[in-house]
């Protein structure tokens, strides 16, 4: 069953003077009250603008961080809402609470074609409650802000893997529609899982193998090559019998990695791990560091307990050659500690290869998206930059995404 689209909402019923509750993704990184990466705010703007232009009274719901069901000023949605206001050609008001007096009064006074952003929905513990009745009660209070003839649009792909009140339960209470951002993300991920054009290369990085287990499991028979970088590569190197010094290791995943290496060989999928590594004497911008072969990490000049903090130049070039030879590429997770220049080159080389490639390239949200923006790449350099790291991974794991399923109900 397919979801109703935003265009259907606007064309079929019209939204002028009608309240539309939009679940957006404004979960941006902050430095104090400054948004350090506004990618998700920019991605949320088109749907909100489309509704404003159609004359709707738009109420935006979003979360920021993990305030654990309590009001915590450092997780206020205000900086993200203020950035939305700066980018928009319409005014954005911000409620001082989620469903309290401020939200109710501001909603009641909304003019056609205007926007109200509610405070962080996770300030209310019912948003993330495991108890269905508690989430449903909160969803009813959110729906009540829309009066008699409200509608709901989910445009927060970064949250669709959560069974939360503003993502899942609300869809049962109001006529519900799939936002353009969610529709695009689902279409892209279907391309990766159902009929990718080969060769299909998957690049996985980040710190932990355990975060990517189900993705590796599901893609082993689908991808032609899995390129493994980041901290997770060291558990694979250990599984191959290499000494890895003080590098990040998930001891309990060594046997799993050995199993993947064996299965990949039988399935005709190549798992490519680094052949050289940038090894440092400590974690920090002022660390001593040198490039060593992957089987000689403990022979560093500063001692045997060095930390691998990036893939080496030989590995980066090898990864790039696979990417440039592919027709479809999915990348999730940096190749090293990209925030520190000395350990950013592996990630930069992979990003450059994706930018140069003629393949259909997908950058899977989270740290990967932040890395390409931090290194000055344009979003236009890639086929698609996902707004949802966790949601993208769960889709590629073959899981049902509650927020998407709720729109199809």
What are the domain boundaries of the chain?
Answer: 6-183, 196-397
Q: Is residue 389 classed as helix, strand or coil in its secondary structure?
A: helix
Which stretches within 240-387 are classed as H helix?
Answer: 254-267, 313-324, 345-356, 366-374
- Average pLDDT of 306-318? 97
pLDDT digit string (tens) for 322-342? 999 999 999 999 999 999 999
Q: Is residue 160 classed as helix, strand or coil in its secondary structure?
A: coil
| pLDDT at residue 197 tops 70 | yes
Evaluate whether 6-183 and 196-397 have a shared fold. yes
Q: Among 55, 69, 325, 390, which one carries the catalytic annotation?
A: 390
- What pLDDT band is residue 380 in, cutting at 50, 70 and 90? confident
Cβ atoms of 173 and 149 closer than 8 Å = no
Binding-site sequence positions for (2R)-3-phosphoglycerate? 40, 122, 162
Q: Among 40, 50, 163, 318, which one carries the catalytic annotation?
A: 40
DSSP 45: H
390 is catalytic: yes
Average pLDDT score, the chain: 94
Binding-site sequence positions? 25-27, 40, 63-66, 122, 162, 212, 308, 339, 365-368
pLDDT value for 210: 87
Q: Among 42, 208, 222, 263, which one carries the catalytic annotation?
A: 208
Q: Among 205, 306, 312, 366, which one carries the catalytic annotation?
A: 366
pLDDT digit string (tens) for 139-151? 999 999 999 999 9
pLDDT value for 371: 80
CATH 3.40.50.1260 assigned to domain 196-397? The reply is: yes
Burial of 73 (0-12, 13-18, 19+ CB in 10 A): exposed
Of 8 and 409, the one with more pLDDT: 8
- What pLDDT band is residue 374 in, cutting at 50, 70 and 90? confident
CA pair distance 117, 106, nearest whole angstrom: 10
- Average pLDDT of 187-210? 91
Least confident range of 144-148, 320-324, 351-355, 392-396: 392-396
366 is catalytic: yes
Which strand (E) or helix (H) includes residue 216? helix 213-219
pLDDT value for 1: 59
- What pLDDT band is residue 10 in, cutting at 50, 70 and 90? very high
Would strands 276-280 and 289-293 be described as parallel, antiparallel, or unpaired? Answer: antiparallel
Region of residue 65 (left: phi > 0; alpha: psi -120 to 50; beta: else): left
CATH 3.30.70.20 assigned to domain 6-183? The reply is: no
Q: Interior CA angle at 321 toward 313 and 361, to 5°? A: 110
pLDDT value for 396: 87
318 is catalytic: no
Of 86 and 378, the one with more pLDDT: 86
40 is catalytic: yes
- What pLDDT band is residue 386 in, cutting at 50, 70 and 90? confident
| pLDDT at residue 207 tops 90 | no
pLDDT value for 13: 66
- Average pLDDT of 350-377? 86
Q: Give percent of the chain with pLDDT exceeding 70.
A: 99
| pLDDT at residue 366 tops 80 | no
pTM of the model as a whole? 0.86
pLDDT digit string (tens) for 56-104? 999 999 999 999 999 999 999 999 999 999 999 999 999 999 999 999 9
- Average pLDDT of 383-388? 84
Binding-site sequence positions for substrate? 25-27, 40, 63-66, 122, 162
| pLDDT at residue 35 tops 90 | yes
Q: Is residue 260 classed as helix, strand or coil in its secondary structure?
A: helix
Q: Interior CA angle at 4 toward 388 and 45, to 5°? A: 45
């Amino acid at each position: 069953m397919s979801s109703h689209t935003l265009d259907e909402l606007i064309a079929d019923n019209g939204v002028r003077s009608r309240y539309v509750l939009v679940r957006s993704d404004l979960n941006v990184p902050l430095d104090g009250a400054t948004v350090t990466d506004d990618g998700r705010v920019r991605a949320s703007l088109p749907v909100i603008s489309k509704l404003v232009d159609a004359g709707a009274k738009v109420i935006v719901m979003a979360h920021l961080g993990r305030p654990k069901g309590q009001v915590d000023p450092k997780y206020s949605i205000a900086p993200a809402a203020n950035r939305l206001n700066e980018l928009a050609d319409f005014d954005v008001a911000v409620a001082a609470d989620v469903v309290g007096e401020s939200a109710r009064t501001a909603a009641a006074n909304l003019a056609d074609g205007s926007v109200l952003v509610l405070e962080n929905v996770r300030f209310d513990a019912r948003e993330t409650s495991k108890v269905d009745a508690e989430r449903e009660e909160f969803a009813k209070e959110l729906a009540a802000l829309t009066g008699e003839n409200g509608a709901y649009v989910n445009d927060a792909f970064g949250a669709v893997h959560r069974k939360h009140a503003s993502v899942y339960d609300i869809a049962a209470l109001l006529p519900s529609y799939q936002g353009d951002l969610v529709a695009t993300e689902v279409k892209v991920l279907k391309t990766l899982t159902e009929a990718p054009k080969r060769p299909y290369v998957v690049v996985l990085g980040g710190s932990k193998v355990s975060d990517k287990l189900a993705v590796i499991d599901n893609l082993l028979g689908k991808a032609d090559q899995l390129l493994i970088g980041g901290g997770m590569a060291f558990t694979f190197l250990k599984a191959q019998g290499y000494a890895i010094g003080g590098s990040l290791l998930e001891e309990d995943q060594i046997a799993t990695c050995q199993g993947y290496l064996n299965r990949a060989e039988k399935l005709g999928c190549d798992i490519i791990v680094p052949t050289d590594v940038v090894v440092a004497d400590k974690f920090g911008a002022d660390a001593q560091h040198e490039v060593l072969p992957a089987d000689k990490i403990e022979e560093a000049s500063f001692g045997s307990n060095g930390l691998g903090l990036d893939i080496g130049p030989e590995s980066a070039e090898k990864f790039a050659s696979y990417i440039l030879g592919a027709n479809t590429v999915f990348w999730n997770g940096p190749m090293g500690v990209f925030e520190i220049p000395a350990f950013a080159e592996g990630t930069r080389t992979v990003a450059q290869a994706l930018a140069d490639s003629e393949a259909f390239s997908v950058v899977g949200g989270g740290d990967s998206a932040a890395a390409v923006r931090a290194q000055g790449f344009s979003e236009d350099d890639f086929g698609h930059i996902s707004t949802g790291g966790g949601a993208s991974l769960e889709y590629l794991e073959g899981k049902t995404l509650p927020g998407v399923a709720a729109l199809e109900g």
